Amino acid sequence: MQRAVGEEDANALIRLLLRQTLLSQDAIARMCDLSQAMVSRVLKGIRELRRPDTIHHAFEGITEGYDIPAPDLMCVPADLALDLNDSGDEAAAVLERLTRADTQGAPGLENDAEASAVSSAVLAWLVQDASSPAGEPVPDKGPVVAIRAATAAFASLDNRFGGDNARTTAVHYLNGTVVPLLRQTRPEAVQRPLFAVAAEFVLSVAWMSYDAQRNGAARRYFVQALDLAAHAEDRLLGASVLSAMSHQANYLGAHREARDLARAALTGAGDRATATMRAQFLMMEARAHAARRDKSDCFRAMSEAEREFGRRRPGLDPEWIGYFDHSEYSDEVAHCHRDLGHAHVARRLAEQSLAASTGDDYARSRVFTRIVLATAVLGQGEVEEAVHLGTRVIPQVRATSSARCVGYLDDFAKRVLPYRDQPEAARFLRQAGSVVVSGQ
């Protein structure tokens, strides 16, 4: 600590504050007049404060202090919200603890959970009795319609502007509105639909947390969404939660876990899954195989997914799988071919995905696709066109509050780095670097 103060090393002081005090990330951010996202990146060692005025301001905030009381918070238990609960009352109580810890910025919430930490929850869900009706339309009445409307609104903000855009507000709504409703005693015929829409809302919070790269919190919300879906007896929604968990695991490099979660989704849904759902689950498995460079299993899963996608009847699908259209399907296949090194095919499919996409409803997804396209073009040796495509997507990355978009841009920039002697590539790297460093 003395060395960090003597050298006015604000980055080191921020890390020391989290390790040696009970201050939350949010409190540290306010002390330093920084965003919570920026503090999170400094704490993880993936970003550094570089501008002299920013460093000086943060240092003054730490050493002189603002009038910010240190929160009396214990570190979040490592196993909080990472297992299924025995009753709906217990599920509501655990969700209340989780959302309270999140809104207060309790230390330890962002610690990533190992695959083994959620395996028992997945296994418990898989072996549950699935004989009861599931996946039935949820009636539009009472609090159910209000929560469904809130889910749609927050999902729209997430898809257009990124996970950090409205995540805090969504967590407050979950804590202040949804959880109290879950804790009220109602007849089963009313309670089950309520738990179903609550599961959808918690799943949307999990997605926002994942997109903001708050992966420890995201894991916990994913598991609680799975639990709520189980209490709602909605087997299909539970399977969709596992598919989302597969997506996160693959992004984080846990490819075997991603494969297993995708297979668990397909197995758990069983014959009730629509063709669209089976296609989506199979593409999650294919993504995991592609990331591991397992070409044969990837092609097997993609072939099965193509067959299912060709049989889809959107009118039979639950509303929450409606996003998986031709544009999204082509994007997933493009990702697979990018990871397998098939630049020509990845380019064609990324272009198809962008051509099939209309409007701004999924603006963030189109950022991912455009960067996959730029990567494929670079893989074909067309450096100037690739960096032109990459440069065009930078304003769109800036326009989102998505750590994943920044991560995609960073990955592409690393692929461009060998060509930094070329003027266009050098110009792109300077522009991309400013976005990656700032995390904007």
Same domain, 46 and 140: no
Tokens standing for residue 239: 């399977």
Going by the DSSP 8-state scheme, the letter that residue 314 receives in this structure is G
In a domain, 389, yes or no: yes
* pLDDT tens-digit series, residues 261-292: 999 999 999 999 999 999 999 999 999 999 99
Tokens 């790269």 label which residue? 213
pLDDT of residue 2: 53
Residues 139 and 207 in one domain: yes
Which pair of structure tokens corresponds to residue 259?
A: 């494969």
Query: Which of 329, 331, 337 has its CA nearest to residue 307?
Result: 329
- Asked whether residue 205 is domain-assigned, the answer is yes
**Based on the domain organization, do 113 and 228 belong to the same domain?**
yes
Same domain, 116 and 57: no
285 falls within a domain: no
- Span 153-194, pLDDT tens digits: 999 999 999 999 999 999 999 999 999 999 998 887 788 999
147 and 200 together in one domain: yes
Alpha helices in 292-382 (DSSP H): 295-310, 326-340, 343-356, 363-379
Residues 90 and 172 in one domain: yes
Nearest Cα neighbor of 10 from 33, 73, 22, 21 is 33
Single-letter residue type at 135: G
Establish if 379 belongs to a structural domain.
yes
- Could you tell me the residue range of the domain that residue 397 belongs to? 344-438
Choose among 100, 208, 217, 99: nearest CA to 154.
208
Is residue 229 situated within a structural domain?
yes
For 83, list phi and psi in degrees, rounded to 5: -145, 165
- Contact of 217 with 102, CB cutoff 8 Å: yes
Taking alpha carbons only, the member of 328, 360, 371, 331 closest to residue 348 is 331
Same domain for 99 and 150?
yes
> Which pTM was predicted?
0.82
The answer on 210 and 124 residing in a single domain is yes
If asked whether residues 90 and 31 sit together in one domain, one would say: no
Number of other CB atoms surrounding residue 112 within 10 Å: 13
**What domain count does the chain have?**
3
Contact indicator for 31, 433 with CB cutoff of 8 Å: no
- Are residues 52 and 106 part of one domain? no
Q: Where among 40, 63, 86 does a domain terminate?
A: 63
Look at residue 11 and tell me if it is in a domain. Answer: yes
Output helix, strand, coil percentages for the chain, rounded to the nearest 5.
Answer: 75, 0, 25
Shared domain for 102 and 149, answered yes or no, is yes
Residue 169 has phi, psi (to 5 degrees) of -65, -40
pLDDT tens digits for the chain (440 residues)? 455 555 667 778 787 776 656 566 777 788 788 887 788 788 777 778 878 777 777 777 777 654 444 444 457 888 899 999 999 999 999 999 999 999 988 888 877 666 667 889 999 999 987 665 544 555 567 899 999 999 999 999 999 999 999 999 999 999 999 999 999 988 877 889 999 999 999 999 999 999 999 999 999 999 999 999 999 999 999 999 999 999 999 999 999 999 999 999 999 999 999 999 999 999 999 999 999 999 999 999 999 999 999 999 999 999 999 999 999 999 999 999 999 999 999 999 999 999 999 878 899 999 999 999 999 999 999 999 999 999 999 999 999 999 999 999 999 999 999 999 999 999 999 999 999 987 64
- Which residue type does 354 have? L
